[in-house]
């Protein structure tokens, strides 16, 4: 049988990512590649108790079909947290619960993108977002960033260079893959430029709660007076990814369309799970949990930086992140990290080659290291191995 697959499924395919995913389950290989939080930090006992409470105490309506927007008490809880942290004034009508931030990206794409539309994004950026956007047959303009965020003059030139710019996609806090954070001035300038050009900004912010510094910059929604910012959030990094729980916050008109997209995609996110997480958030000390996991990740991050200084070539450059799960290494320009990957796997260590995060795959000499998912002894072993690979 010769199958006539849709073009979009081929846009989603990356043989390199499949190879990395295939290697992840090999217990002999130390993986510094995945974007996973640490399994030993998941509040499993508490979540089990919350699941029991859900099945014993909750109203039977949560076992029924319900509205696409999501479980009202959870929506209120998330919106209140967002408003408190960012001085915004959203309400329960401004939010849709999604199956993780990943589904948020997909629903926004479904709502806004026509074939041939142009997405402006950081370069490098979250590679699965690129694949999602590609599946809607859009094109990209990758915009260079410096240590303060996207370079706004370049963004403006790029917008003006095409007739069909549609969305600006950014990860403003502890970015995947670079670990970098936008400062407040760039956030304000971004909104100003997007508003002037009638573009929607998609702020993808799943790392916000994993901060190593006391104050995290406000969400871009704080600076938005015209309703053109969509904010995506997630419990994947702060609680655990297996829950598949995230959210989309936006103005009424946008959120109405996104709720429609959600309904035709999967009707609703499980209300049973939403009740379970709501129980956790209201009966346990979530802030304490966040403080605890952020301290562990900060410690692992510092150790990784020290090990990189000690074991990798002197030419390696990086900026220590203020939060999140990743460090981005720039090696000397003659190194091709994708070509080096089989050698690293042979040595028993896995990293994520930087090229896969670029819209045009033009930069070959970078790689992303994840420090959250392995314990300290394995971090040491992994980076010593990495040193052996790149010092040859
Ligand atoms: C920037 C970014 N957005 C979205 C996601 C997907 O997260 P979720 O598990 O909430 O779908 C990830 C996961 O690594 C990510 O790094």
Looking at residue 100, its pLDDT comes to 97
Candidate of 97, 128, 243 to mutate for ligand 1, largest count of ligand atoms within 8 Å of Cβ:
128
The yes-or-no verdict on residue 109 having pLDDT over 70 is yes
Distance CA 351, CA 349 (A): 7
Tens-place pLDDT, residues 337-389: 999 999 999 999 999 999 999 999 889 999 999 999 999 999 999 999 999 99
Residue 392 has pLDDT above 70, yes or no: no
pLDDT for the residue 97? 98
Query: Does any ligand 1 atom lie closer than 6 A to the CB of residue 234?
Result: yes
176 within ligand 1 shell (Cβ under 6 A): yes
Q: Which residues pair with 118 in a beta bridge?
A: 139, 165
Residue 370 vs residue 16, higher pLDDT: 370
| CA pair distance 149, 193, nearest whole angstrom | 14
How confident is the model over 48-77, as a mean pLDDT? 96
210-219 pLDDT, tens digit per residue, is: 999 998 999 9
| Mean pLDDT within 29-35 | 91
Which of 17, 34, 35, 124 maximizes ligand 1 atoms within 8 Å of its Cβ, making it the mutation to test the pocket? Answer: 35
Predicted confidence at residue 13, as pLDDT, reads 64
For the chain, which domains are there?
Answer: 8-43+288-390 (3.90.1150.10), 44-283 (3.40.640.10)
Q: What is the mean pLDDT of the chain?
A: 95
Q: For 231-254, write each residue's pLDDT tens digit.
A: 999 999 999 999 999 999 999 999
**CA 242 / ligand 1 centre spacing (Å):** 12
pLDDT in tens, 252-302: 999 999 999 999 999 999 999 999 999 999 999 999 999 999 999 999 999
| Per-residue pLDDT band at 12 (split at 50, 70, 90) | confident
Atom of ligand 1 nearest to the CA of 104: 11
Q: How far apart are CA 290 and CA 46, in angstroms?
A: 14
How many Å lie between the centroid of ligand 1 and the Cα of residue 199?
23
- Percent of the chain exceeding pLDDT 90 equals 90
Q: Is the beta carbon of 101 within 6 A of some atom in ligand 1?
A: yes
**Considering only CA atoms, which residue is closest to atom 13 of ligand 1?**
35
Name the residue of 109, 179, 206 to mutate for ligand 1: max ligand atoms within 8 A of Cβ.
206
> 102 CA to middle of ligand 1, Å?
5
In short, whether 236's Cβ falls inside 6 Å of ligand 1 is: yes
In the reported structure, the alpha carbon of residue 357 is separated from the centroid of ligand 1 by a whole-number distance in angstroms of 14
Q: Is the overall model pTM greater than 0.75, yes or no?
A: yes
Residue 176 DSSP code:
T
Q: How far is the CA of 2 from the centre of ligand 1 (A)?
A: 34
| Segment among 1-5, 213-217, 310-314 with least mean pLDDT | 1-5
Phi, psi dihedrals of residue 268, rounded to the nearest 5°:
-170, 160
Task: Report whether 206 contacts 245 (CB < 8 A).
Answer: no
Q: Supply the DSSP string of 346-375, one letter for each residue.
A: HHTEE-EEGGGGSSS----SEEEEE-SSS-
On the question of pLDDT at 15 being above 80, the answer is no
pLDDT > 70: percent of the chain: 98
Closest ligand 1 atom to 125 CA: 1
168 forms bridges with which residues in the sheet? 120, 201
For 152-184, write each residue's pLDDT tens digit. Answer: 999 999 999 999 999 999 999 999 999 999 999
pLDDT at residue 21 is higher than 90: no
């Amino acid at each position: 049988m010769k199958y006539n697959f849709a073009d979009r499924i081929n846009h989603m395919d990356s043989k390199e990512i499949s190879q990395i995913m295939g290697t992840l389950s090999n217990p002999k290989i130390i993986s510094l590649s995945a974007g996973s939080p640490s399994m030993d930090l998941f509040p499993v006992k508490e979540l089990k108790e919350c699941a029991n409470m859900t099945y014993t105490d909750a109203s039977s309506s949560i076992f029924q079909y319900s509205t696409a927007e999501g479980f009202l008490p959870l929506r209120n809880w998330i919106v209140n947290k967002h408003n408190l942290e960012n001085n915004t004034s959203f309400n329960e009508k401004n939010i849709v619960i999604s199956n993780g931030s990943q589904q948020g990206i997909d629903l926004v794409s479904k709502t806004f993108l026509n074939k041939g539309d142009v997405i402006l994004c950081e370069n490098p950026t979250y590679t699965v977002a690129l694949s999602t956007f590609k599946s809607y047959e859009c094109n990209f303009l990758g915009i260079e960033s410096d240590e303060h965020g996207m370079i706004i003059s370049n963004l403006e030139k790029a917008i003006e260079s095409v007739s069909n710019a549609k969305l600006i996609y950014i990860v403003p806090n502890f970015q995947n893959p670079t670990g970098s954070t936008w400062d407040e001035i760039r956030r304000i300038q971004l909104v100003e430029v997007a508003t002037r050009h009638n573009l929607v900004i998609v702020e993808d912010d799943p790392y916000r709660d994993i901060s190593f510094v006391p104050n995290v910059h406000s969400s871009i929604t704080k600076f938005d007076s015209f309703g053109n910012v969509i904010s995506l959030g997630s419990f994947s990094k702060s609680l655990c990814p297996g829950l598949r729980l995230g959210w989309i916050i936006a103005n009424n008109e946008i959120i109405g369309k996104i709720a429609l997209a959600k309904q035709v995609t999967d009707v609703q996110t499980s209300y049973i799970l939403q009740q379970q997480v709501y129980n956790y958030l209201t009966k346990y000390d979530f802030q304490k949990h966040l403080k605890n996991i952020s301290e562990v990740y900060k410690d692992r991050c510092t150790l990784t930086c020290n090990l990189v200084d000690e074991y990798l070539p002197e030419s390696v450059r990086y900026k220590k992140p203020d939060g999140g799960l990743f460090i981005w290494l720039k090696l000397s320009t003659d190194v091709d990290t994708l070509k080096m990957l089989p050698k690293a796997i042979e040595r028993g260590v896995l990293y994520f080659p930087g090229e896969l995060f670029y819209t045009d795959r033009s930069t070959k000499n970078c790689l992303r290291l994840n420090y959250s998912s392995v314990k300290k002894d394995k971090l040491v072993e992994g980076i010593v191995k990495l040193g052996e690979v790149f010092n040859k």
